Amino acid sequence: MARINENYLKLPQNYLFTEIARRVKIFQSENPNAEIIKLGIGDVTQPLPKVCLDAMNKAVAEMGNAETFRGYGPEQGYLFLREKIAEWNYKKRGLNVSAEEIFISDGSKCDCGNIQEIFSLDSKIAVADPVYPVYLDSNIMAGRTEIIYLPCTAENNFSPAPPAEKVDLIYLCSPNNPTGTTLDKAALANWIDYAKKNDAVILYDAAYAAYISEENIPRSIYEVDGARDVAIEFRSFSKTAGFTGTRCGYVVIPENLCGTTSSGEKIPLKNLWLRRQSTKFNGTAYIIQRGAAAIYSDEGQAQIKTLIDYYMINAKIIRAGLTAAGFTVYGGINAPYIWLKTPNNLSSWNFFDELLKKYKIVGTPGAGFGSCGEGFFRLTSFGSRENTLAAMERLKN
């Protein structure tokens, strides 16, 4: 019989959202008339921008014509999209990132989960706690055991400090899921300094960069001096343009960013990632890449702004509603997530049950994102306006 990868057995048995769905299902079957409002899962609810639909429709027509039909595309992604990303997300903001340093994918989850493959199995990892579970789980699956947790608490403004010991890989996420908080330039400069001193690589997840509204918060880690020497950046069209079901994201790996072999030889990480992608990935669909590229025009930018503003008004409504109901809230200013302290020191799962039973509102228990998430709870602003307002009305009453 084939032996399994036993590292999978070290993962938590129940995926967080499966357990939430189980509890909601039981409640709904016991209370069939209850109108439950779901502000739990981080998935968007508004339709795709028109510019994306138009571009995808045009691309569909191209696929039906022998002259313009496309088969396998470049593993790194089409140049038309990589050039637009380099221009609009980096050059226009004064940042030096070229199309050759961008790798298109079918979303950030795969990129964040797969990137660890190009690093040694004995790498020591640092992850924030609480955190998006993919960073940790993908390293556990690979068999890495040296994992340092970086507590993110109200006391440190949910901005993790570098550890005393040396680590090789550091996962940072800003704006953060689940806390909805961001890392400022000083915090990132501190991490870049740490990475340089310790020969570490920062894996910077900026999936929610488009939600940053405050001018002094960096949208990209490359806004901070020295980042190109130590950091890989992940971005996604999922929350930027409603692509959660459409699927497109990308990774930036600067030309000169290197890792070392056991004998100390420096190897560009970009070459390893290209090798990995061309072996295991056959590119994101042409139609989807055309749709993604459409956000890079004045009209496209206006349409995604309307989408993001919609969710951020929801975030404002949630923040105001929770504050008025006496909760202590964090996040929700530069991110679509609101992180609240559970009242009366309730555990986050007990609070989940109470919110569901008394108010018929579903959120996400903070403990599901790491031990420092205990005593906290996440609500998302991705619901419809109607549901967001109705949820806050219930809490008020």
Question: Which parts of this chain interact with ligand PLP (CB under 6 A)?
Answer: 42, 107-109, 112, 132, 173, 177, 205, 207, 236, 238, 244, 249
Q: What's the closest the beta carbon of residue 34 comes to ligand PLP, in angstroms?
A: 27
Give me the least distance between CB of 326 and ligand PLP, in Å please.
28
Tokens linked to 113: 């989960």
Indicate the residue whose CB is closest to ligand PLP: 107
Is residue 175 a contact partner of residue 208, using CB atoms and an 8 Å limit? yes
**Shortest separation between residue 114's beta carbon and ligand PLP, angstroms:** 11
Shortest Cβ distance from residue 137 to ligand PLP (Å)? 13
Residue closer to ligand PLP (CB basis): 304 or 392: 304
Q: How far is CA 163 from CA 33, 43, 168, 169, 369, in A?
A: 51, 33, 11, 12, 20
Q: How far apart are CA 247 and CA 288, in angstroms?
A: 7
Closest distance of CB 183 from ligand PLP, Å: 13
Phi-psi region of 107 (alpha: psi -120 to 50; beta: other; left: phi over 0): left
Question: Measured from the CB atom, is 90 or 250 closer to ligand PLP?
Answer: 250
Q: How many residues are listed for the chain in this entry?
A: 397
Nearer to ligand PLP, 89 or 236 (CB): 236
Task: Choose between 222 and 369: whose C-beta lies nearer to ligand PLP.
Answer: 369
To the nearest whole angstrom, how small is the minimum distance from the Cβ of residue 105 to ligand PLP?
8
Please state the closest distance from residue 19 (CB atom) to ligand PLP, in A.
17
What is the nearest approach in angstroms of ligand PLP to the Cβ of residue 310? 18
**Closer residue to ligand PLP (CB): 238 or 289:** 238
Name the residue nearer to ligand PLP (CB basis): 12 or 343: 12
Closer residue to ligand PLP (CB): 107 or 321: 107
Nearer to ligand PLP, 90 or 337 (CB): 337
